[in-house]
Amino acid sequence: MTEPENHTLHLLREIREAIGSLDTRVQRLDSKVDHNHADLTERLDRQRQAVVGEGVLGRYAAAEVEDRLAQIERRLSALERRG
């Protein structure tokens, strides 16, 4: 029969290998999570930029329409005063 001391050393070596394997897998997962986080952050930033850009474009277009309407109103007022 093997001595308990040898059996304990054998179990400790197996545990060390299992922990090493687990550590390697956790590091790979951690790297994958970091990559996914960076990818999602980049996508959100692009979405934010698109929304802000559309908002600015909308305000610009609305301002142009307001200017044209103001010109038409001035012309109409001038015609009404004449007539």
Residue 83, SS3 per DSSP: coil
- Burial (CB < 10 A; 0-12, 13-18, 19+), residue 5, is exposed
pTM: 0.48
Give the model's pLDDT for residue 2. Answer: 62
- What DSSP string describes 6-47? HHHHHHHHHHHHHHHHHHHHHHHHHHHHHHHHHHHHHHHHHH
pLDDT digits (tens, 9 = 90+) for 19-52: 999 999 999 999 999 999 999 999 999 898 888 8
